[in-house]
Chain A
Amino acid sequence: MNAPLATSGRDSRQQFELSIGCVPLRLQMSDAQLFDAASARYAAFTDGAAQPITIALNDGAPPEGALADFGYEFEGAVLRAFSNKICFDGVRNQYALDSLLRVLLSWKLLGHHGFLLHAATIIRNGKAFIFTGRSGAGKSTVASLSPEGTVLTDEISLLRREDGIWRAYGTPFWGEFRAAGSNTSAPVAGIFRLLQAAENRVEALRPMATLRALLPNVLFFSAEAEANRQLLDIVNQAAKEIAGYNLSFRRTPAFWEVLPA
């Protein structure tokens, strides 16, 4: 097993390994300041898993003549995924790194039957409750109204289907709630579309309605038709197999009382 934090043998590059949703990654970089910031930001997700995907930061040396399987640009930061190497270039700070990591994960999760979702995940009685909605829907509010230590994320949830069971994983991608994140997972109890209202009420959704609730909140950045077909199949399966609800809620902890056990 590799050491999660180490100095690479080649020149002055440093590297550390992390795992998000059981997707192992190895970040290599020579910028000491960025290394310190990134290793602190992802400390809870540091892991020395076997066969991580190597990401070279600001290396500037993509494989000669190789065409990228996937590429994405965000505010000058560029992601290129080759068959044996991932390149992040133009990464000037940890926020750019964080953005490219989200983009990369959203693509890599296709191969793990998973996806990223704008949602807060709260653990209750060993089960993951997923609260989904766009900015302002109430994800951070739900997190702030939940017991301390139960929030896996208030912004971006990671769902994967493993051995026929959907599990939600903690991610280091947070919104207003701000926390280090928790690198744990739990089986999913249900997906709740957040609707702020004067009273607390849940309404069960048909799978098609659950799919409608999910798709606008899925994070996905590939413009490839085939990748989007794969994603649609995965999210559709989630909509069929996970109980979906509309949750009308007031900004008080009492909303938990109307949720299914």
Chain B
Amino acid sequence: MSTAAPVLWQKNPALAWREIDDETVIISPQDSVMHELNNTGSFLWKNIDGDKSAAELAELLAANYEVTPDIALSDTQALLEEMSSRKLVVTVPATGGVTT
């Protein structure tokens, strides 16, 4: 039986972004749209590096903010979906499944 590899997330490399005063400003050059992330959004953004799944990002969020693991996972998944719909993040092709 094989289990699909976890989906990993990375920033869209076509974007321009900078951290400013604990917030993150992102520009989509293709459509000249500006996006902003608040403090926790910026924390997740910094850690979206192409090597982490939503669950791993949620663990980091729970460890650094006063939030339960369940809420951290729910918030992380919601933010990833929102950023994905805006083409700010993309999934990394799985390099291989986990076989059990």
Chain A residues packing against B (C-beta within 8 Å): 206-208, 211-212, 215-216, 220, 222-229, 231-233, 236
Least CB distance, B44 to chain A, in whole angstroms: 19
**Among B14, B15, B16, B21, which residue has its beta carbon within 8 angstroms of that of A208?**
B21
Instruction: Tell me, in angstroms, the Cα distance from A206 to B23 when the chains sit together.
Output: 13
In the bound complex, residues from chain B placing their C-beta under 8 Å from that of A227 are: 29
In the bound complex, residues from chain B placing their C-beta under 8 Å from that of A225 are: 13-16, 29
Say whether B25 faces chain A, with CB atoms less than 8 Å apart. Answer: yes
Least CB distance, B14 to chain A, in whole angstroms: 5
Cβ-closest chain B residue relative to A224: B29
Q: Give 5 closest A-B pairs by Cβ, nearest first.
A: A228-B16, A229-B16, A228-B29, A223-B29, A215-B34
Least CB distance, B45 to chain A, in whole angstroms: 15
Say whether B98 faces chain A, with CB atoms less than 8 Å apart. Answer: no
B20 touches A211 (CB 8 A): yes
Say whether B3 faces chain A, with CB atoms less than 8 Å apart. Answer: no
Question: Interface size of B by Cβ–Cβ distance < 8 Å?
Answer: 16
Q: Within B1-48, which residues are at the interface with A (CB < 8 Å)?
A: 13-18, 20-21, 23, 25, 27, 29-30, 32, 34, 36
Chain B residues packing against A (C-beta within 8 Å): 13-18, 20-21, 23, 25, 27, 29-30, 32, 34, 36
Query: What's the dominant secondary structure at chain B's contact region?
Result: strand
B18 touches A236 (CB 8 A): yes
In the bound complex, residues from chain A placing their C-beta under 8 Å from that of B13 are: 225
Residue with the highest number of chain A CB atoms closer than 10 Å, among B16, B30, B36: B16
A216 touches B18 (CB 8 A): no
Least CB distance, B10 to chain A, in whole angstroms: 14
Instruction: Tell me, in angstroms, the Cα distance from A222 to B30 when the chains sit together.
Output: 8
In the bound complex, residues from chain A placing their C-beta under 8 Å from that of B21 are: 206-208
Least CB distance, B75 to chain A, in whole angstroms: 23
B30 touches A223 (CB 8 A): yes
In the bound complex, residues from chain B placing their C-beta under 8 Å from that of A231 are: 16, 27
Show 15 A/B contacts (Cβ-Cβ < 8 Å), sorted by A. Answer: A207-B21, A208-B20, A215-B34, A220-B32, A223-B29, A223-B30, A225-B15, A225-B16, A225-B29, A226-B16, A228-B29, A229-B16, A232-B16, A232-B18, A233-B18
Cβ-closest chain A residue relative to B21: A208
B27 touches A232 (CB 8 A): yes
Q: A220-B32, A223-B30 are in contact. Are A215 and B25 (CB under 8 A)?
A: yes
Instruction: Tell me, in angstroms, the Cα distance from A60 to B12 when the chains sit together.
Output: 36
Contacts A220-B32, A228-B15 known; list 12 others, CB within 8 Å: A215-B27, A222-B29, A225-B13, A225-B29, A229-B18, A231-B16, A231-B27, A232-B17, A232-B25, A232-B27, A236-B18, A236-B25
